Amino acid sequence: MNTRNDSYRARKTIYTTLLWIILGGLVIAQLFPLLWVASYSLQKSGDLFGPELFKLPKEPQWQNYLRAWKDGKIPAYLLNTLKIVIPSVTGATLLSFGLAYACTRMEWKMKPLAWFFVTIGLTIPIHTTLLPNFIWYRFFGLIDTHLGLIISYIAFSLSFNTIVFSGLLAGIPKSMEESAFIDGAGYGRILSQIIAPMAATGFATVGVQTFLNHWNEFIMANTYLASEIKRTLPFSIIRFQGEYSSDYAVQFACMTLVALPPLVLYFIFNRWILAGVTAGAVKG
């Protein structure tokens, strides 16, 4: 009996050790690019090329961040980004929440068709829509406008967000809504006062994920925005890329500055995001 217990403990120790090694490797793989960019943002551009995979700056070049902030037009681009990201994240979150509720809690004839379009939306690459959308946007006067980007961002976020919300809503008892209907409550009150508070982790998950996607998006912004005055944060990085040479150190400083707000936001809402993803996976 003791031999079996010892063998079981030995196997459990081996499995635990292997698990920690794998998880440690994943953590290093995730953190190394961030540390690499932050380290090289403090180097001189001429010091970036060498045999070392990673090296700490001997003389930190803090002026790289000053140049990135000033010459990269980060304040202006940041304001443009917020003008786009705030309404697009709000719209994508609220619309997907309403669509998820309609598809999981209500019965109507077009429900299977709605689910079909939600599923199809996950399979459509952004690149295939650039030219058709460009033609439509030019027809409606939406080229070189923030509204055109907001519409595109919301449209491409709906499918994923709806599926996340659907997994959460599927685990909420319908008896709560039935009681509210008996008391005379309408859908607006039920959604805002009963369902939404119970899906708070879903709002955190969807909101932060959508924010990250919209904050870092470049392909559609580069296609639909032409004026310098309307461009977003990712354009600050390519301002230091020349035809024959690039100021890589300042580019890395730009990358670090652009990446800081999403990182801070993720760490703040990390607990709610993990809870929302876990709940959606189990209940969905």
Domain range annotation of the chain: 2-40, 63-283
pLDDT (mean) for 132-156: 93
Per residue in 219-253, pLDDT tens? Answer: 999 999 988 899 999 888 887 776 545 778 888 88
Give me the pLDDT at residue 278, please.
54
Range with the lowest mean pLDDT among 22-31, 70-79, 198-207, 273-282?
273-282
What are the structure tokens assigned to 185, written together?
A: 């409550």
**Residue 94: pLDDT above 80?**
yes
What span, in angstroms and rounded, lies between the C-alpha atoms of 28 and 51? 21
Q: Which CATH number fits domain 63-283: 1.20.1440.60, 1.10.3720.10, 1.20.1050.10, 1.10.10.10?
A: 1.10.3720.10
